[in-house]
Amino acid sequence: MMKKMLFTDSFLKTGAPAGGDAVRAASHPVCKEVREEQMNICVIGTGYVGLVTGAVFADLGNDVICVDKDESKIEMLKQSEMPIYEPGLEEMVVRNVEDSRLAFSTDIGEGVRKSEVVFIAVGTPPAEDGYADLSAVTDVAKIIARNLDRYKVIVNKSTVPVGTGDLVREVIDRNKIRDVEFDVVSNPEFLREGSAITDTLYPDRIVIGAPNGNVAMRIVELYAPLERPMLITDVHSAEMIKYASNAFLATKISFINAVANICERAGADIVQVIKGMGFDSRIGPQFLNAGLGYGGSCFGKDASCLIHTADRLGYDFKLLRTVVDINSEQPLRFVDKIRNALGDLEGKTIGILGLAFKPNTDDMRDAKSIDVIGALIADGAAVKAYDPIAIDNAKKIFPQIQYSSNAYDTAEDSDALVIITEWNEFKLLNLERLKERMKRPIIFDGRNMYDPQRMKRLGFEYHCIGRCDNAKGSNGINGH
| Catalytic machinery residues | 298
Round to whole Å and give the CA distance between 410 and 417.
8
Round to whole Å and give the CA distance between 119 and 117.
7
Amino acid at 116: E
From 89, 71, 67, select the one nearest 80 (Cα to Cα): 89
Find the helix or strand (DSSP H, E) in which 269 lies.
Answer: none
Round to whole Å and give the CA distance between 122 and 124.
7
Give the number of residues written for the chain: 480
Strand 230-233, strand 26-28: pairing: antiparallel
Round to whole Å and give the CA distance between 213 and 232.
8
Sequence-distant (6+) residues with CB within 8 A of 358 are 193, 194, 295, 296, 421, 422
DSSP calls for 3-65: PPP-BSS---TT-SPGGGSS---EEES-B-S-BSS--EEEEE--SHHHHHHHHHHHHTT-EEE
